[in-house]
């Protein structure tokens, strides 16, 4: 299947589609034969000749209602309305309600929603009451949406856009790179490829093809992971289209990796979007079970030690996101709560609109909200991405000033009601503490309170660089781990300052400070916020079953010597007991307290005293 079908088809809609030919109203065999022959030959006939053939059908059977619909489908608005209204006046004409629906849809297609509502109100056939109510709700909501305009000042990224179609924008969190799918339609070829643009002083430069990933076949529907290390896209190889991903190392993308089963199946899968936590992939599929059309799905993702990904447990995310029609093109924001997607199943302004939904603490998404007019229009809007700060969106839209440019990428500021949470990011660099060699390592940011992972990725094996995300507030934990090394533990704040991470090779005498261990004030009681660090330490010991460690407690110099000695000893004991409760054998653990005798910072400041109040362990 041509990838053009997968991507461009989503931009197309035809309100007055022809009725399925296996349910015609006429019993006149000759009329049916001429009608079907005309429909079959339509692509090869001039419009006047085609209509002449259909009029022959009507002469044979004046109650052949589908013939009138077909003529209306070929006419301009005023003539089409006259034709369909004339149908309603013919005595004993079948399918009156269907004709009334077509009149209402024609008015709606031309944005005459007051007329569409009035025509829909005329439907009296009991068999179509549900359809009548559905259309009334849709048209009334659409009319209200068009009347209640929202702030929207799109800016065309002129340097990056071309005379070709550009769509599916995706941006890195540092807002340095923007990727798009570009449809390279020419006289001899029609293919889609991946392109990337760089931001220079606020301007997006002309986009260059991603040579590492593009082929003579089709690649598209791409998205960056939040940190830019991974790119997901759909690639068609011969007749098979699947979701692939690639990992960026020192500016080069690795050979595309097929995500494999169960993410890819024999059905249609597209529009991949990785969560910032790195443990969930959203995508669109028509696989079953579905609600009638394309649905949005998600699956679990595990980042392996070598940076490769393992996909499992695909599930339809269900209602209220998915409908009986098409719901697709998901984009999960860096806040891991706000989902943007395209749909023609929710009340829309016309065609495919973009919607936003947020999920609660139970993981269930709330009722979607239409982004509003004129962000959404009577045309099709299907792809949107938002920067990590939640302020700026990028959308693919028809170039109104230069229609010959067709679909271009636009940038605009989001109004408050549809903004996600503002996310900050920290950047870091991981290296061997002894050799200074740059390392690839797993990087995790987590919330102390909930113990949930907020961001997870892998540092670049050539440069050691990483980007990690957290809400734009202070107080989160960072863990960095790599096989053969002590893990690195730190508290992080919403800052763009670089964190330098020297990983210590595992050997006797090396120590690690457990910076994410917390106690009640002047107590050895471990707080819930310490759970993640305890679990990380236990996991480290499980992966290195021959290691023994000495757990050491320290305090600041506030309080008496005896009190501090006992407090540090008891705090070390609390960590000792917590690790035993995690299944670590007692013979591998010992503990000791040093009170305030081994400071690592100045006790004259609050910051220094906080550093001195610590728990660490030493390899024995």
Q: What are the pLDDT digits (tens) for 355-402?
A: 999 999 888 999 999 999 999 998 889 899 999 999 999 999 988 888
- Is there a single domain that holds both residue 192 and residue 310? yes
In this prediction, residues 227-233 reach a mean pLDDT of 94
Query: 579-595 burial, b for 16+ CB within 10 Å, e for fewer?
Result: beeeebeeebbbbebbb
State the average pLDDT for the chain: 91
- Is the pLDDT at 12 greater than 70, yes or no? no
- Is there a single domain that holds both residue 141 and residue 165? no
For 290-305, what is each residue's pLDDT tens digit? Answer: 888 899 999 999 999 8
Q: Judge contact between 37 and 45, C-beta under 8 A.
A: no
- Is there a single domain that holds both residue 455 and residue 366? no
Q: What is the pTM of this model?
A: 0.83
- Is there a single domain that holds both residue 353 and residue 457? no
- Is there a single domain that holds both residue 445 and residue 335? no
Residue 302: C-alpha distances to residues 76, 200, 246, 277, 532 (Å): 55, 34, 15, 10, 18
Number of domains making up the chain: 4
Coil, helix or strand for 531?
helix
pLDDT score recorded for residue 62: 96
pLDDT score recorded for residue 10: 36
pLDDT score recorded for residue 398: 87
- Domain interval for residue 488: 422-505
* Domain termination residue (choose one: 480, 505, 530): 505
- Is there a single domain that holds both residue 534 and residue 392? no
Task: For residues 60 and 64, give the distance between their C-alpha atoms in angstroms, rounded to a whole number.
Answer: 9
* Helical spans, DSSP H, in 416-468: none
- Is the pLDDT at 187 greater than 90, yes or no? no
CATH number at residue 500: 2.60.40.1120
Burial class (CB in 10 A: 0-12, 13-18, 19+), 473: exposed
CATH number at residue 365: 2.120.10.30
* Domain termination residue (choose one: 458, 490, 505): 505
- Is there a single domain that holds both residue 489 and residue 596? no
For 436-452, what is each residue's pLDDT tens digit? Answer: 999 999 999 998 888 88
- Is there a single domain that holds both residue 202 and residue 341? yes
CATH number at residue 528: 3.30.1330.60
Q: Confidence band (pLDDT; 50, 70, 90) for 110?
A: confident
- Is there a single domain that holds both residue 44 and residue 126? yes
Q: Confidence band (pLDDT; 50, 70, 90) for 473?
A: low
- Is there a single domain that holds both residue 339 and residue 406? yes
pLDDT score recorded for residue 2: 42
Task: For residues 473 and 214, give the distance between their C-alpha atoms in angstroms, rounded to a whole number.
Answer: 40
Query: 452-469 burial, b for 16+ CB within 10 Å, e for fewer?
Result: ebbbbbbbbbeebbbbbb
Contacts for 71 with CB less than 8 Å, ≥ 6 apart: 51, 54, 55, 83
- Is there a single domain that holds both residue 374 and residue 444? no
In this prediction, residues 557-564 reach a mean pLDDT of 94
* Domain termination residue (choose one: 482, 505, 528): 505
Q: Confidence band (pLDDT; 50, 70, 90) for 328?
A: very high
Task: For residues 151 and 416, give the distance between their C-alpha atoms in angstroms, rounded to a whole number.
Answer: 10
- Is there a single domain that holds both residue 389 and residue 434? no
Quick one: the chain helix, strand, coil %, rounded to 5?
A: 25, 30, 40
In this prediction, residues 229-246 reach a mean pLDDT of 89
Q: Judge contact between 72 and 16, C-beta under 8 A.
A: yes
pLDDT score recorded for residue 496: 63
In this prediction, residues 97-106 reach a mean pLDDT of 96
């Amino acid at each position: 299947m041509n990838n053009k079908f997968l991507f461009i088809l989503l931009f197309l809609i035809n309100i007055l589609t022809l009725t399925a030919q296996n349910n015609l109203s006429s019993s006149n065999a000759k009329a049916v034969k001429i009608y079907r022959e005309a429909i079959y030959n339509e692509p090869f006939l001039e419009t006047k000749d085609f209509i002449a053939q259909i009029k022959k059908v009507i002469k044979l059977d004046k109650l052949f209602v589908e013939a009138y619909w077909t003529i209306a489908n070929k006419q301009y608005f005023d003539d089409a309305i006259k034709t369909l209204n004339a149908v309603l006046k013919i005595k004993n004409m079948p399918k009156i309600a269907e004709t009334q629906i077509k009149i209402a849809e024609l008015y709606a297609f031309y944005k005459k929603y007051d007329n569409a509502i009035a025509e829909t109100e005329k439907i009296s056939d009991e068999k179509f009451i549900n359809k009548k109510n559905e259309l009334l709700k849709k048209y009334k909501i659409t009319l209200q949406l068009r009347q209640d305009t929202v702030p929207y000042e799109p800016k065309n990224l002129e340097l990056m856009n071309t005379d070709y179609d550009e769509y599916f924008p995706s941006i890195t969190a540092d807002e340095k790179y923007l990727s798009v799918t570009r449809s390279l339609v020419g006289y001899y070829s029609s293919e889609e490829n991946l392109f990337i643009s760089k931001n220079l002083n606020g301007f997006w430069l002309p986009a260059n093809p991603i040579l590492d990933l593009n082929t003579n076949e089709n690649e598209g529907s791409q998205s960056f992971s939040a940190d830019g290390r991974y790119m997901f896209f759909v690639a068609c190889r011969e007749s098979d289209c699947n979701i692939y991903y690639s990992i960026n190392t020192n500016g080069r993308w690795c050979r595309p990796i097929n995500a494999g089963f169960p993410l890819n199946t024999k059905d249609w899968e597209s529009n991949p979007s990785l969560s910032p936590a790195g443990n969930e992939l959203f995508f669109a599929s028509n696989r079953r079970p579905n609600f009638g059309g394309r649905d949005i799905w998600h699956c679990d993702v595990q980042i392996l030690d070598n940076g490769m990904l393992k996909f499992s447990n695909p599930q339809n995310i269900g209602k209220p996101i998915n409908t009986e029609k098409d719901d697709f093109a998901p984009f999960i924001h860096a806040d891991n709560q706000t989902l943007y997607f395209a749909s023609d199943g929710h009340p829309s302004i016309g065609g495919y609109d973009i919607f936003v939904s947020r999920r609660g603490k139970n993981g269930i998404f709330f009722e979607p909200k239409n982004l509003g007019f004129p962000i959404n229009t009577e045309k099709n809007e299907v792809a949107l991405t938002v920067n990590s700060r939640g302020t700026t969106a990028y959308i693919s839209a028809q170039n109104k000033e230069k229609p010959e440019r067709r679909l271009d990428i636009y940038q605009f500021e989001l109004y408050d009601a549809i903004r996600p949470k503002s996310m900050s990011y920290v950047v870091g660099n991981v290296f061997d503490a002894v050799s200074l060699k740059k390392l690839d390592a797993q990087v995790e940011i987590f919330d102390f309170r909930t113990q949930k992972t907020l961001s997870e990725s892998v540092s670049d094996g050539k440069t050691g660089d990483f980007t990690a995300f957290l809400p734009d507030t202070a107080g989160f934990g960072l863990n960095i781990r790599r096989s053969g090394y002590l893990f690195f533990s730190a508290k992080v704040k919403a800052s763009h300052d670089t964190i330098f991470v020297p990983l210590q090779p595992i050997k006797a005498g090396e120590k690690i400070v457990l910076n994410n261990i917390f106690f009640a004030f002047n107590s050895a009681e471990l707080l819930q916020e310490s759970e993640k660090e305890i679990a990380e330490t236990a996991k480290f010991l499980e992966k290195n079953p021959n290691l023994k460690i000495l757990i050491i407690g320290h305090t600041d110099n506030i309080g008496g010597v005896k009190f501090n000695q006992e407090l540090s000893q008891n705090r070390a004991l609390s960590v000792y007991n917590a690790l035993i409760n995690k299944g670590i054998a007692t013979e591998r653990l010992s503990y000791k307290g040093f009170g305030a005798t081994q400071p690592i910072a100045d006790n004259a400041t609050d910051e220094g005293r906080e550093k001195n109040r610590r728990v660490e362990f030493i390899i024995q």
